[in-house]
Structure 1
Amino acid sequence: MLKKFVRTMAYIGGIVTGFYLFASAPGIHKKKKWQHLTGWDYAHRGLYDNEHGIPENSMAAFRRAVDKGYGIELDVHLTADNQLVVFHDDTLTRMCGMNKKISSFLYSDLMQLRLLGTEEGIPLFKDVLELIDGKVPLIIELKVDGSNQNLLCPLVWQLLSRYKGDYCIESFHPFVLQWFKRHEPQVVRGQLSCNFFKENPHCDIVLFLMSNLMTNFFTHPDFIAYKYLDLDNPAVIYNRKLFHIMTVVWTIPGKPTYDRFKNKVDVMIFEGFEP
């Protein structure tokens, strides 16, 4: 009886392990697809300084990053009138003092707002692309609101298809990656994630799948962008060691941490200091 139980448990364990490995496998990718994005350090939301009048995701922060030769990570949202704006949070609370979702605003209304009381406003994505103009590479995070990825992604691609600089896209939402895999597979795409349970431990199958990169089997990301504190996740180790996938880490908070990871990952996104 005991032997039968042990065999059954081993069989179940093998199935679970096999599914885990299958689901988190990113597929095979050639390094030449993304190697032009390495060799740069990327300023998180631009080279911002919220305390000294250079807000995150502002034209001033992007201009400063370009001037100092840093790549840029930025975030793109869709407004109520289908305009692409560069802004991180889902709501305007932290940056503009209004407890409303950015997706509920027309861009003409957003134009009246200012970031953290400065002269800087919420920029259009197209204006940011014109400012950067290929001078430095971009990591573009797409922010999905509800299920708007099938509108967000093609609108983003309309602009990127005419952009001459180097860039990649990333998202926590696997359907963004799936859209680009299906429609524009030449675009370098990355799966954003972290160990969600470190900050909010509870039973959640979606967060379990996301933490363990278990949507990779149908999105086949070219890279993973993972929180630097969580690189001991087995799925991350599996992706890096077996598939040698490009690894982006976020968000490096200081020079000692930067030095620790410098030769261990492909790309680092930093904030609050200059490497």
Structure 2
Amino acid sequence: MKILTCLLILFLLYIFCILPRFTHRRESRSFRHILFAHRGLFSNEKGIPENSLPAFSRAVSKGYGIELDVQLTKDQQLVVFHDSTLSRMCGLDIHVREKTYEQLKELTLLHTKEQIPLFSQVLKLVDGQVPLLIEIKLPCFSTSTCALVDKAMAGYKGSYCIESFNSLALFWYRVHRPDVVRGQLSSNLTRPVAEGGYLLSFLVKHLLTNVLSRPDFISYCYKDTNNISFCILRSLLGTMTMVWTIRSQKAYERCLNRYDSLIFDNFIPHS
């Protein structure tokens, strides 16, 4: 009997930990049934690199929502760039946070003429024409990026929500900007999410950090959606779900009616 009681307590504790926020479901619904162009509607074949101004302009022209990545430079400027290092996109094996924005302006993306844009430049270009899904890159325990993103969004008139792998970013929004729709990014994580190392990655993988962040939606890799916590949130608790990254028409058709919103790249979906 004691064993059963202990197991029940552990199960209830587990459910408590993975619970989402329930009070902002109406606000979250505005981000349902949206196709988000991953890092903009980029095309390497056409010389339009990811997270570039032409990629975002192309997404706007097609009417797609935009998923983008925001992180800090050495001089505390917000830039739109995915990787922690510059090696893949700029051929320089150094972290973005170790360069000032003026130094980053000397680099180009994938041998094109395009440069790493400031977050403010992207906001000016999009100008509320399509919804934004803003991923906050937070490789450390400092949440200063969140405060700067929030400041940048203060005068923005368009629709946006935020997401992050690092639950500390969501916790910052929970405390300071509870009106903003927030989502927990996750997958079958094999690398550390941040300085928290593999323990934090394990907790995020199983959505146990929801106890800290209480997200409005879960954004999960579509190949890993057999995760038990994700299934409970989606099927039993009716939590809003997004999946990433859809890269084929076949995967698109498989996911279209299963999840609330899709994040795609490398092809144009056809309904």
TM, length-normalised to structure 1: 0.92
Distance in 2 of aligned mates of 1:135 and 1:95: 27
1:33 and 2:27 aligned? yes
The answer to whether the 8 A contact 1:58-1:123 is kept is yes
1:193 and 2:186 aligned? yes
Runs of 4+ deviating beyond 6 Å: none
Shift of 1:145: 2.9
1:176 and 2:169 aligned? yes
Equivalent residues in 2 for 1:240-251, closer than 5 Å: 240-251=234-245
Match of 1:85 among 62, 79, 87: 79
Which residue in 2 is equivalent to 1:211?
Answer: 205
Distance in 1 of aligned mates of 2:112 and 2:230: 40
The answer to whether the 8 A contact 1:27-1:217 is kept is no
Shift of 1:239: 1.1
Which letter does structure 2 place at the counterpart of 1:269?
Answer: I
Which residue in 1 is equivalent to 2:67?
Answer: 73
Gaps of 5+ in 2: 192-196
The answer to whether the 8 A contact 2:173-2:180 is kept is yes
Shift of 1:205: 3.2
Equivalent residues in 2 for 1:227-246, closer than 5 Å: 227-246=221-240
- 2:175 counterpart SS class: helix
Equivalent residues in 2 for 1:150-165, closer than 5 Å: 151-165=144-158
The answer to whether the 8 A contact 1:240-1:246 is kept is yes
Distance 1:61 1:70, change over 3 A: same
Which structure: larger Rg? Answer: 1
Distance in 2 of aligned mates of 1:197 and 1:59: 31
Match of 2:120 among 126, 141, 159: 126
- Calculate the aligned-residue CA RMSD, in Å: 1.8
Shift of 1:102: 0.2
Which residue in 2 is equivalent to 1:3?
Answer: none
Which residue in 1 is equivalent to 2:92?
Answer: 98
Shift of 1:165: 0.4
1:117 and 2:111 aligned? yes
Shift of 1:8: 4.9
Corresponding residue pairs, total: 265
The answer to whether the 8 A contact 2:242-2:261 is kept is yes
Q: Deviations over 1:46-93 (max 9, x none)?
A: 000123310000001001111111111000010010100000000000
- 1:116 counterpart SS class: coil
Shift of 1:160: 0.9
Which letter does structure 1 place at the counterpart of 2:250?
Answer: P
Range 32-41 or range 8-17, more displaced: 8-17
Distance 1:145 1:218, change over 3 A: closer
- 2:67 counterpart SS class: strand
Shift of 1:9: 4.1
1:10 and 2:10 aligned? no
The answer to whether the 8 A contact 2:24-2:181 is kept is no
The answer to whether the 8 A contact 2:141-2:168 is kept is no
1:108 and 2:74 aligned? no
Range 183-192 or range 237-246, more displaced: 237-246
Which residue in 2 is equivalent to 1:4?
Answer: none
Distance in 2 of aligned mates of 1:127 and 1:168: 18
The answer to whether the 8 A contact 1:41-1:268 is kept is yes
Distance 1:89 1:138, change over 3 A: same
Shift of 1:230: 1.3
Distance in 2 of aligned mates of 1:134 and 1:265: 24
- 1:52 counterpart SS class: coil
Range 181-190 or range 140-149, more displaced: 140-149
